[in-house]
Copies of this chain bind each other. A is one copy, B any other.
Amino acid sequence: MSESGLNKLLPSINIDQLRASCSACTMHHLCLPMGLGEPDMKKLDQIIGRRRKIPKHSLLFRSDEPFTNLYAIRLGHFKTFQLSPNGEEQITGFQMAGELLGMDAIGSEQHRCDAIALEDSEVCEIPYLRLEELFGHMPTLLHHFHRMMSQEITREQDVMLLLGTMRAEQRFAAFLVNLASRYAARGYAPYNFQLRMSREEIGNYLGLTIESISRLLSRFKKNGLLRVANREIEMLDPVRLKAMAAGTESCD
């Protein structure tokens, strides 16, 4: 059936808008429109810009670019990283569907990190100035936006704790447990997932080397904590992994 034919049957619904609308998005319960009623969600829809496909390994934005949009991830995974003055790279986060990219750029009005898709992905462009205009009339939206920024702050504090106090084994366990809980929140099997990032990227994020990550994977496998096949992970003993992440247990 052609699109125009469908439009005749359902004259009040525009297919393009349906595709583009927050209410039709599977992530709206986690994303910016969380908790909004239908009318508010429509207003938000109206300011949201293009829906962009970002192919694997391509750039969403680059550090020092002027900031105009936030990006809500509809589909896929990203990494964000910073370059130090002497050229060293630090991955500051891995983001997945329902999460917001670019909040760190509001303060300086230019991006402070690069964002790269780890797989073929899709984002919604959210023009920031228009979003701020909406806030005046939509306290619920504003409140949830503040929650999301605040959660980004606490997420980073958790990483500081990880990098500042934990040994390699604990860091890696915490990393896996964190992924599991985020997949659970999205309705995916928490203990079976594909790593979207390379060993090198994991190591960089955790302040370790690729060799350390590889050794940890082997150790966890040997101790019956994980099944590992390339990037496919199965957490065989989540309880023990959580205990390791909490620092109350250690493997051999």
**A residues in contact (CB < 8 Å) with B:** 82, 84-86, 88-90, 92, 103-108, 112-113, 132, 135-137, 139, 142-143, 146-154, 156-161, 163-166, 204-207, 246-248
Contact = CB atoms under 8 A, between A and B. Distances in A.
A interface SS class? helix
Contacts of A135: 135-136, 142
Given A104-B154, A108-B151, 17 more contacts: A82-B158, A84-B161, A85-B248, A86-B247, A88-B161, A88-B165, A90-B164, A92-B160, A92-B161, A103-B150, A104-B153, A107-B147, A107-B154, A135-B135, A135-B142, A149-B153, A164-B207
A12 B139 CA distance: 36
Given A132-B139, A161-B84, A163-B160, A151 B107 contact: yes
Contacts of A88: 161, 165, 247
Contacts of A247: 84-86, 88
Contact of A104 (B103, B132, B150, B164): B150
Contacts of A113: 157
B90 A161 contact: yes
